[in-house]
Amino acid sequence: MLKKVILLMIMVCVHTLGADPRRGHIQGQVTDQKTAQPLAGVNVMVLDTEWGTMTDEEGYYRLTDIPAGSYVLRFSMIGYRDISKINVEVHAGNQTHLNVELVTEAVSLDAITVTAPAFEKSKGAVVSERTIDLGEIRTDPASQGDIQRSVQVLPSVSNTSDQMNEIIVRGGLLGENLFIIDDIEIPNPNHFGQPGTGGGPVNLINAEFVQSIDFYAGAFPAQFGDKASSVMNIKFREGSTNHPQFYIDMGMSGIGSALEGPIQEKGSYLLTFHKSFLDLVIQNTGLMAIPYYWNTQGKAVYRLSSKHRLIVNGVYGRDHIEIDADENDAWSRGAEYVYTENETYATGGTLLTTWNKNMYSKLTLYRNQLDYRYDVERYTSPGHRTDFANSKFAEGETALKLYVSKAFSPLTDIQFGGQIKNVHLDYQSVSWPDTLFFYEGDSIRGIFRTYDYNTSSEDRHEQKGYGFVSMTFHPLERLKIIAGLRADYFTMGHTLTWAPRLGLSYRVGPRMYLNAGAGRHYQTPFYYHNMTNEDENQPALNSKYSDHVIAGIEFYPADDMKFSTEIFYKGYADLALPSTRLNPGKDTTDTDLYYLSEGKGKARGIEFFFHKKMFERWYAIASYSFSRSELWDPRYEEWYHSSYDFRHVANLVGGYKLIKEDSWSIPMKILTFNADEFIISVRYRYTGGRPYTKRSYYPELRRWYVDENHYNTERYPDYQRFDLSLQWKVHFKNAHLTSYLNIQNVFNRENIWEYSYGEDGSIEKILQYQTMPVGGFILEL
């Protein structure tokens, strides 16, 4: 398949030698970030060209007949901070839709002009925040178009493995990131996810739909909650309002197509569909596991009136995998025969209302659902297997959410709102009788333990709700304060929590800020853990919480450069601990399990981040963090390393763009196939060894057991990986082709994911991605 992709790219690029590049259009709307009011008279300039225009009375702008290519757009207006949008692509015969929000500048006209237009500030935050756009996702050599992997270049973010895109922030735990898509929450936007986590091997969000991502790594605004570490606020772009546009694409996440276009001159739509193709490629290779998945996604925007806009979104994904284990395969140890099937979706609508020039609201009704099903069988003799366990795990949420923003002046504004949510829980599980034997050599000596047939089911509804208020004001011209308060209530355990938030930002000079933030962040316990406690007649779990304290400096050496450093502390309390971690010497084969809110943890560290955006031809990112993350062992009253205490995490990313008009050497012309634009990017990542708990082998049971006396005393070797990305862009008469070749782990370093433990006492390495070339393309018509 890879050879065919490369051949296709070569053939298409050769044909472009006689291609006649056409022109395209850029249009969109400019609004005030605080009030959502359209801004008239905004200057819109295409830098280093003669093209420019101004927004009309409704904030709309249109730039026409621009030659196909990539540009930088500058938006400026008196009283607002300039914003530059980088890598805005214009495709032949098509329209690029780009909406922009401007932020009021809280300085007088005779004050020092504040610059740094290439970097946007997320609303309501002053620390640990970053806005990522589609252009940055496309040029990241390691993300493969995966929006979760795209944020892993930040110093505050680490991941669990190459195979999974889980976001681990500042020594946190699994499932602590909040995902929001245009005001709709989705618990886990991934194929093959697992209950209680927020990651998976394949993200089901089409990155080509993304306009921007606001990522908060700590002390995030009061409107966001029920997560202990971070927030990924994803904003989809709007479709073409001019004429229908169509594209097809193929890459690591599958093969698919998308369609967009206008709706009665009052709105637009986006629709996409993707399907895995790995099953078509490897089904005859003899591999034991073949993944099948598909997803679809859509967005529609419709202007009901000059003050009311309706926005409808939907994301749906389905996947399944069948594993028929080979006893000699390290990947399948203990799995034997497993069949899993997952389904996830999130859909809803938002009514955006602008009440007056200083106030707007968003009313959102949505529903999301996660369904996990699995069936496990074990071989009792060659060619024969029996049922061992199966389970259905379903969680659905229906919610109504209100958000209101009102500006009293350019220096003061307030946001408030809340949400009510009905949670539907449906769990079913069956485990068949099993026997754990004593062995002496290859012979069974006796029975160590028997497990009876067990079945359980639960179908119930619970309610959750929250309210929040947040105010931004400037007691001094250079000082900005954001103060917020959030209250959450959950009927399971009848838990009411209060979470204050505070952010401070002081402008030292035109290009430097001193920032600080603090806040408490609650997260309701994993629903299933509370259900388990009810079965064991244990008290309901408390909501765990983390206290964030952050301070840092931001410095902008140039309009397209940013340097920042932050120190942070994050303290955890009321973590849910399994009963096996509360009783020293407890038999680990015992199935009596419940949870208590007796855990605590802490993380602290320092981070450095440098970002040079591709204002012209090159971009660069350098990040480094040193941190310590620990959890408390209540049995011995001592701290131990958390599972994601990497200590050192470093990233180096860089890229350079060439265009057809450059005087290329003969080798460069061969490499670029004479494409209109060619981008080469590289990325190097280093992390310290991940901690793990030592296991002990019991030959009389033919089993390995985790050493429950001392957790995470061992570490895997350090992780290093170098990635390379080549990207070609070709402008046809009436089409645009972007093709790419990414090579992950160029030097084929053997990074260990984990160890596999055999029944015979053997230990084998399970490696992360080795050298893996991935090609793909996007053809827009």
Q: What is the pLDDT of residue 110?
A: 44
Residue 326: is its pLDDT beyond 70?
Answer: no
Distance, CA of 61 to CA of 52 (rounded, Å): 10
SS3 722: strand
Residues 6+ apart with CB under 8 A from 719: 685, 686, 687, 688, 689, 690, 751, 768
Give 179's pLDDT tier (boundaries 50, 70, 90). Answer: very high
Residue 520: is its pLDDT beyond 80?
Answer: yes
Residue 7 CB neighbours (<10 A): 11
Q: What is the pLDDT of residue 282?
A: 54
591-594: long-range contacts (C-beta < 8 A, 24 or more apart)? Answer: 591/451, 592/536, 593/532, 593/536, 594/532, 594/533, 594/535, 594/536, 594/538
Q: What is the pLDDT of residue 445?
A: 72
Report the alpha-carbon angle 466-472-477, nearest 5. 170
Kind and range of the H or E run holding 209: none
**Cβ–Cβ < 8 Å for 219, 515:** no
Sheet strands (E) in 19-112 = 23-32, 43-46, 52-54, 60-67, 69-76, 83-90, 95-97, 100-102
Reported as a single tens digit per residue, the pLDDT across 43-56 is 999 988 889 999 99
Q: What is the pLDDT of residue 103?
A: 87
Comparing 616 with 486, the larger pLDDT belongs to 486
Q: Which range (80-89, 128-137, 166-175, 699-708) has the least confidence?
A: 699-708
Q: Which range (163-177, 307-321, 572-586, 658-672) has the least confidence?
A: 658-672
Give 13's pLDDT tier (boundaries 50, 70, 90). Answer: very low
- Whose tokens are 């009309």? That residue is 56
As a whole number of angstroms, the longest Cα–Cα distance in the chain is 90
Q: Which range (223-232, 354-363, 369-378, 426-435) has the least confidence?
A: 426-435
Residues 6+ apart with CB under 8 A from 419: 399, 400, 401, 402, 464, 465, 466
**Cβ–Cβ < 8 Å for 73, 46:** yes
Q: What is the pLDDT of residue 522?
A: 96
| CATH code that applies to domain 2-780 | 2.40.170.20
Pick from 584, 577, 587, 583: nearest CA to 705: 587
Residue 335: is its pLDDT beyond 80?
Answer: no
Give 685's pLDDT tier (boundaries 50, 70, 90). Answer: very high
**Cβ–Cβ < 8 Å for 102, 42:** yes
Distance, CA of 233 to CA of 178 (rounded, Å): 8
| DSSP β-ladder status, 83-90 and 69-76 | antiparallel
Give 17's pLDDT tier (boundaries 50, 70, 90). Answer: very low
Residues 6+ apart with CB under 8 A from 115: 82, 510, 511, 556, 559
Q: What is the pLDDT of residue 632?
A: 92
**Cβ–Cβ < 8 Å for 227, 186:** no
| Mean pLDDT in residue range 119-140 | 84
Cβ burial, residue 457 (10 Å; 0-12/13-18/19+): exposed
Residue 9: is its pLDDT beyond 60?
Answer: no
Q: What is the pLDDT of residue 8?
A: 43
Q: What is the pLDDT of residue 332?
A: 47
If you compute the radius of gyration of the chain from its CA atoms, what whole number of angstroms results? 27
Locate the domains of the chain by residue range.
2-780
Q: Report the percent of the chain where pLDDT is more than 90.
A: 46
Give 122's pLDDT tier (boundaries 50, 70, 90). Answer: confident
Q: What is the pLDDT of residue 477?
A: 86
Q: What is the pLDDT of residue 663?
A: 60
Reported as a single tens digit per residue, the pLDDT across 245-259 is 999 988 877 889 999
Reported as a single tens digit per residue, the pLDDT across 194-229 is 888 899 888 999 888 898 899 999 999 999 999 999
**Cβ–Cβ < 8 Å for 677, 656:** no
Residues 6+ apart with CB under 8 A from 80: 32, 39, 42, 102, 103, 104, 105
- Encoded tokens for 159: 């991941």
Comparing 307 with 446, the larger pLDDT belongs to 307
Residue 778 forms beta bridges with which residues?
249, 738
Pick from 467, 463, 464, 468: nearest CA to 483: 468
- Encoded tokens for 125: 């935050």
Q: Which range (171-185, 320-334, 660-674) has the least confidence?
A: 320-334
Q: What is the pLDDT of residue 452?
A: 73
Q: What is the pLDDT of residue 380?
A: 59
Q: What is the pLDDT of residue 280?
A: 62
Cβ burial, residue 68 (10 Å; 0-12/13-18/19+): buried
Distance, CA of 435 to CA of 616 (rounded, Å): 67
**Cβ–Cβ < 8 Å for 359, 35:** yes
Distance, CA of 39 to CA of 211 (rounded, Å): 20
Reported as a single tens digit per residue, the pLDDT across 366-402 is 999 999 888 877 665 555 667 677 888 899 999 999 9
**Cβ–Cβ < 8 Å for 82, 75:** yes
Comparing 222 with 492, the larger pLDDT belongs to 222
Pick from 128, 49, 61, 113: nearest CA to 82: 113
| Mean pLDDT in residue range 178-187 | 95
pLDDT mean across residues, the chain: 85
SS3 15: helix
Distance, CA of 206 to CA of 317 (rounded, Å): 12
| DSSP β-ladder status, 763-767 and 267-275 | unpaired
Comparing 721 with 136, the larger pLDDT belongs to 721
Cα pseudo-dihedral 191, 195, 199, 205, rounded to 10: 40
Q: Which range (17-26, 63-72, 235-244, 762-771) has the least confidence?
A: 17-26
Comparing 136 with 235, the larger pLDDT belongs to 235
| Mean pLDDT in residue range 490-519 | 93
| Mean pLDDT in residue range 753-770 | 86
Residue 766: is its pLDDT beyond 90?
Answer: no
Q: What is the pLDDT of residue 221?
A: 94
Residue 160: is its pLDDT beyond 90?
Answer: no
Q: What is the pLDDT of residue 700?
A: 79
Comparing 188 with 411, the larger pLDDT belongs to 188
Residues 6+ apart with CB under 8 A from 155: 607, 608, 609, 623, 624, 625, 649, 651
Cα pseudo-dihedral 219, 225, 231, 234, rounded to 10: -130
Distance, CA of 287 to CA of 323 (rounded, Å): 9
Residue 541: is its pLDDT beyond 90?
Answer: no
| Mean pLDDT in residue range 46-71 | 90
